[in-house]
Amino acid sequence: MTSLLVAEWLRFRRRYDLWIVLGGVVLLTAFAYISSATSAAQPVVFAPIDPTAPPEIRAMIEAQNAQIALEMARLRDRYVFPLSIVTTLELGSWLFLATAFVAASWIATEFDWRTIRNVLLFEPNRDRVLAARLVALATVASGGIVVLLGLGALLPFAVPVTGSGEPLPVTAVGVAATAGVTWLWAVAFGALATVAALVTRSPLLAVVLSAGYTVLEQLVANLDVWKRLGLDLVPQFFLVSRLNALRVDVQQAFPLGQPYAPLTAEGPHLDPILGLGVLGLWIAGLVLLARTVFVRADIHE
């Protein structure tokens, strides 16, 4: 397996297109962070209070202004370390799209370039070939998370913002859970794109198929028929719905306070642990499907 992973690295390091996509996540996350932090750091200017107003009115307006200033300062807390780490994880949550693209392109180009034939002549055990590729993809997703964590730790020093001064509503477990959700999104979409790439053998079609599935699933999940039949819980078992629900679960389990209004779940909601199990089954099922497609595939390329 080590040799296969070395081979993956030798291939990946020259795939500049994939580096650009992954680099794009980092750059856009950093850009979004910097621009929003800079905007949030602008001082709040209140309209002067009319000196002729009665003292009790002036006092009321001053109290309101102080409250607004405090709320604004609390909003700026999201750019203060260590809450800034959660902010970059949230801003970079579309890492899942990049991972899906990398999976689709990395796998399908083996067919496009016909190099899959050579790979299977040197390692005919297709389980091992697929396992190495999936491990490599999971590593890419993990690398993305690490970079987002690093951005969250460094950017507050590059763009210093004064917060409310109150204790920050963040814990190490909460950060880890948020990072875990972002990673699971990336892994789940990577697995979905892997199946699509093995079925279509085309990078473009694999991306289209993955996106098509996501849209279709959301359309089906939002059908009224579930409510009418008393099956509201069924869409909760769908992949994308489950991932969305997991994000809600984490925010409810680890409330991050004022900067993030806690997400609320609409309709019936699965128990978080059961939901995590369902998501695990989804990912395992996609990997099993990818394996079945690949092991049985005829290599015409």
Partner 1 sequence: MTLAIEARGLRRTFGRVVAVDGIDLAVPRGSVYGFLGPNGAGKTTTIRLLLGLLRAQAGEIRLLGAPLSRDRGLFARIGALVERPAFYPGLSARDNLRVFAAVGGRRGPAAEARIAAVLDLVGLGAVAGRSVRGFSTGMRQRLGIGLALLSGPELLVLDEPTAGLDPVGVVEVRQLVGQLATEGVTIFLSSHDLSEVEQVCDRLAVIHRGRILAEGPAAVLVRDSGRAVVRFAEAAECTRARAVLEAAGWDVASDTDSTTLVVGPGSAASGTDASEADPRRVARDLARAELYPVELRLERPSLEQVFLDLVADGERGRGA
Kindly list the residues in this chain that would bind partner 1 in the complex (CB under 8 A): 3-4, 6-7, 10-11, 14-16, 113-115, 117-126, 129, 296, 298-301
Pick the closer one to partner 1 by CB: 22 or 149.
Answer: 22
The contacts of residue 93 (CB under 8 Å, 6+ apart) are 182, 185
Q: Check: CB of residue 290 under 8 Å from CB of residue 195.
A: yes
- Sole residue written with tokens 């900067």: 259
DSSP code of residue 123: -
For residues 14 and 228, which CB has a smaller minimum distance to partner 1 in the complex? 14
- Residue 136 CB, nearest distance to partner 1 (Å)? 13
When the beta carbons of 46 and 113 are compared against partner 1, the nearer one is 113
Q: State the minimum distance, in angstroms, from the CB of residue 166 to partner 1.
A: 52
44: left (phi over 0), alpha (psi -120 to 50) or beta: beta
Instruction: Note whether 183 and 146 are within 8 A (CB).
Output: no
Nearer to partner 1, 117 or 227 (CB): 117
Q: 67: how many CB neighbours lie within 10 A of its CB?
A: 10
Q: Count CB neighbours of 8 within 10 A.
A: 19
Q: How far is the CB of 133 from partner 1 (least distance, A)?
A: 11
Task: Find the shortest distance in angstroms from Cβ 95 to partner 1.
Answer: 24
Closest CA to 299 of 117, 108, 133: 117
Query: What's the closest the beta carbon of residue 123 comes to partner 1, in angstroms?
Result: 5
Closest distance of CB 231 from partner 1, Å: 41
2 or 52: CB nearest partner 1: 2
Phi-psi region of 267 (alpha: psi -120 to 50; beta: other; left: phi over 0): left
> Would you say 127 or 271 has its CB closer to partner 1?
127
Phi, psi angle pair for 123, to nearest 5°: -135, 85
